A = this chain, B = another copy of it.
């Protein structure tokens, strides 16, 4: 985008050679022979400007030592081109993928993500004053640990809020989630078809809507077929999932199929079943996750799971955020993105 040629003199020197006032967009427009709005577009990622015009503008800017300022611009447009992303600490590889996909999608539109990591104690309120401080154009909430207050407080301050991978019932916010209920149901159906009757569910965090919905779909279908799943809490951590798996497998009537509320926990479950209980995963026991995050595809795990289609979910988030920034977005909407069951070797072969 910028000229590759090394400047003969530094921008600072060049600037003071003419006068001491910093060069403005209109100086650049005059030199380049274009409109001021073309200059502004040339410095906005994702905005349309003909390559040759852009080149001329960048050369003029280089010559003058001109540098556009989002801060200056934000005072006139009221926009910072910053999207806040509030996300909780987690080892789950789903979140890095989510950050990356959101970054890509918003980056191509000229927005950048400002990260607000939150703790895992549900006490997210300190973030509010800060989020407002940065005057983000919108806020995306992707943490299971956030209280519902932040969403409604930001909204009442006029900042668009979109939740991804979680829902808040009855709060009038926009959310984008995978089909967690449908996924839980599909997994139940599959395990029943394999002939499993002693099944268990390992939950994530109790306050998390993703875990609740996955359990809801799973239990509903199981109970309709007369099966009552065992239950343990894994809190979405490796250690929590290991404890849960140990408790279930050491019990008097251990399950022969376990559905973990995400892949991250399922992988810990495979380790416990294989190395602590000597079970052949996929024969002696079926293990299922949810997400289809990276490690699910690694051969040592080869995990049956239900996909969260991150790219499609991110498209929906971008769509909602853009409409809301333009003032014509939905006030309340739950967008549910269907995924699919991916059958790998961590579950029994049908017919066995």
Contact = CB atoms under 8 A, between A and B. Distances in A.
Interface of A: 1-2, 4, 10-11, 43, 45, 58, 67-71, 74-75, 80-82, 89, 91, 93, 95-96, 99-100, 103-104, 107, 112-117, 125-126, 128-130, 132-135, 153, 156-157, 267, 270-271, 274-275, 294-295, 298-301
Copies in the complex: 2
B45 A1 contact: no
Given A2-B128, A135-B70, A300-B300, A115 B117 contact: no
Contact of A117 (B103, B271, B275): B103
A132 to B, nearest CB: 5
A43 B300 contact: no
- 6 smallest A-B Cβ distances: which pairs? A96-B96, A300-B300, A1-B126, A103-B117, A271-B299, A70-B133
Contacts of A104: 117
B11 A129 contact: no
15 contacts: A1-B128, A2-B153, A43-B133, A69-B133, A71-B74, A71-B75, A82-B114, A82-B134, A93-B96, A107-B116, A112-B116, A113-B114, A271-B299, A271-B300, A300-B300
Nearest to A112: B114
Given A45-B126, A58-B129, A271-B298, 12 more contacts: A2-B129, A68-B129, A68-B133, A69-B135, A71-B75, A95-B96, A99-B99, A99-B115, A113-B114, A114-B114, A295-B295, A300-B301
